[in-house]
Amino acid sequence: MISLTETFVCTFSEKYPECVIEENYDLAAHTTMRVGGKAAVAVFPETAEQLCAAVEICAFRGIRHAVLGHASNVVCSDEGYDGVIIRTEKLCGISVYEDEIVAECGASLNALARAALNAGLTGAEFLYGIPGSVGGACYMNAGAYGGQISDVLLSVTAYNSVTNTVKEYAAEECNFGYRQSIFHDNDSLTVLSCRLRLCKGDREAIGAKMDELISARKEKQPLEYPSAGSFFKRCEGHFTAKLIDDCGLKGTRVGGAMISEKHAGFLINYDNASCADVMALSELVRSVVKEKYGLDIEREVEYLE
């Protein structure tokens, strides 16, 4: 009997024979945490039409699927993923129109920030150094150093797999909050692109600010180790990393996973960690913080199983 993922491969490749499809896809090799098993299939659409088609086929046929950009905020199960991974990295176009920028979902936030710099536009500097994609940033309202992408967004264009339609959502329709959006809360929506409005600025000052933020990241974050970035959400009224630090947990290890000694909010792949190591360490952190402070901290990182 043909499997659902084989059905996807046959259906999609018949319509888009030029599109790359990879079977037995190594998740550990292609996520920033460097853990996880194999996915049955990965597909690499090159256009919004192909991305919508990949999602539509999966939704219509009941095939498990996950859309990943740079896979920088995800931890994948050691058992792998019995479904289709849809990678958006080839949808990386960025266009500048006076004080507006339109970026496709697979464009890196670094590339977006550099495009703004090159155009002499300020307001996107905080995105520089966030190791994610535009789609992921809209999905979780990514931010750093006092800014979040919703601060500069005009609209987000997304595909709805239930209605099989594409719609441009004004920023006020996106229900943005702290690490939250309608795209995060609704599995039927897939981000295709976004439109930002920035302000004219001085290129030298913009570049200096970006250099300052990168230097701060290198100084304060364990960029030399694989990680998924800040592992936990900010706890209301508290800095979660400080809570973890005050619990004396820096340097704590489970298997090959460790709480960074440089930044307690980072769980790092210190020594060939498994996903099980990472998740067990995250639960240890949550239980210790709960016991000491009575606070429930939540993962920011998505878990794919």
C-alpha distances out from residue 289 to 212, 239, 282, 283, 285, Å: 32, 12, 11, 10, 6
Name residue, tokens 């888009």: 16
Q: Which two tokens stand for residue 204?
A: 């030298």
DSSP secondary structure string for all residues of 153-208: EEEEEEEETTTTEEEEEEGGGS--BTTB-HHHH-TTEEEEEEEEE-EE--HHHHHH
Cα distance between residue 207 and residue 14, in whole Å: 46
Q: Is 179 assigned a catalytic role?
A: yes
Active-site pick, 179, 227, 260, 282: 179
Amino acid letter for position 136: G
Cα distance between residue 75 and residue 92, in whole Å: 23
List of E strands, the chain:
20-26, 38-44, 65-68, 74-76, 81-87, 94-97, 100-104, 121-122, 143-144, 147-148, 153-160, 165-170, 189-197, 199-200, 227-230, 253-254, 257-259, 266-269, 302-304
Please return the burial class of 77, using the count of CB atoms within 10 Å of its CB with bins 0-12, 13-18 and 19+: middle
Q: Is 253 assigned a catalytic role?
A: no
CB 133 within 8 Å of CB 108: yes
The packing angle between helices 4-15 and 48-61, to 10°, is 150
Active-site pick, 133, 227, 230, 282: 230
C-alpha distances out from residue 142 to 17, 62, 222, 269, Å: 34, 30, 19, 22
**Nearest residue to 123 via CA among 204, 199, 214:** 199
- What residues are labeled active site? 179, 230, 300
